[in-house]
Structure 1
């Protein structure tokens, strides 16, 4: 009996220990249950289960992600075929793109690239504590100068996304408002979002969330208002004071955010690569694989 780690990493998965799946010879079906519709594929060779993949929509049907990926060390071409079929099934469900996050030094990356996944950007996972923020009080009053994010902010946030994200990444993640909204990862746990507006434009976007006692911070600052970021981080840490620890995912195109976190005692804990496969042309292609669509 062998146990293999989940090679796919989702936003929810960065807070908890690595999950494992047991591959048993002769087993040809798997089931993943979710509050949302998901797809599941298995690859069996000579009566032995070689790989398992589960995939699901992100915030909308235009963008899906591979949430679970387990494989034997010798799965090879079988894993490539499984990833290709997962993308095809996602396309049949309306996906224009499929995301896969993996460890940046993982052996899975060459395999994923052979299956048509293209490197998009790198992320560094930081972890720290909230105590450092208790004595920090900056000049910027976040409560007084920010508001809770609402649907009316969608267009302004999309403009902020365009102003802060390199075009080569936007081409993979989404170029339109609807594509961008669908590509956002699902919220996990209790989430609070605040925006800082200047003359009707959002200049900073702060998100905090808590799940299973672990907090998370996400900050998207406009380059012209980057000076607000330290105060926003301190505000977020104070609001997460009851958390055991706090994590933050920092993309490689926003290194200044990582510097601010390190000044507050955060330390890098891992590095991930985000890959994307375009599936827009696959939607009408036949899917020659056994799939299990699960809904609760």
Structure 2
């Protein structure tokens, strides 16, 4: 097929023969088909190269994207765990704050029984909160502080046993019967009406409940830390010896028994067996 050749005369621009070459007749007869096939092969090669390059880039981009997606997934999981941990901490703090509130409410109830103003704690001077991690410790601090206040309040005779006007204070005074001389008044007298309730100012144990000389009908209560309170001149006694009582328990009714000039309550506070001025305990 390639042995049969055809002479081709190459003519210059001025029409003169310049050169003659021989080309296989097959190429002249099928040059269109050959050119088309060659072009097709070249195009297919180019397309293949483009496809290969694009495929390689897509694979590389896919790996990068998958890596980023994996990092985002792990970050999201960590954030979820952190949120869960923070929620647990918040729940712990909320429980501590609820304990704080309940303790404060108990204290204020006891303050009310004593005729004292409710306890309000603002800027109490606790530990400084530098970050969220200290919130639980702060709540524990306040709860412990309030529990300590509550324990002290339970064992000390704070407040007034009766709301009446004070007619005679602690210390030396003139003799109320003769009007002359001076005598030591070991407590405070509250004016009132016969039959009005007399309240205990602290929890404790009744160590005396009966008639005792100038005190008349007397109730004596022993408290924590060496405290003792006495409620004298009662018209009626409402507790028994050995009975454990709480703050606000009615120990008796106001009267005028014993060495008394009229209906009133004689109230004493002792510590270590010695009388002290009850008015020191009228404010918390």
The TM-score with structure 1 as length reference comes to 0.20
Relative CO higher for 1 or 2, CA cutoff 8 Å, sep ≥ 6? 1
Larger radius of gyration: 2
Structure with the larger helix share = 2
TM-score (norm 2): 0.20
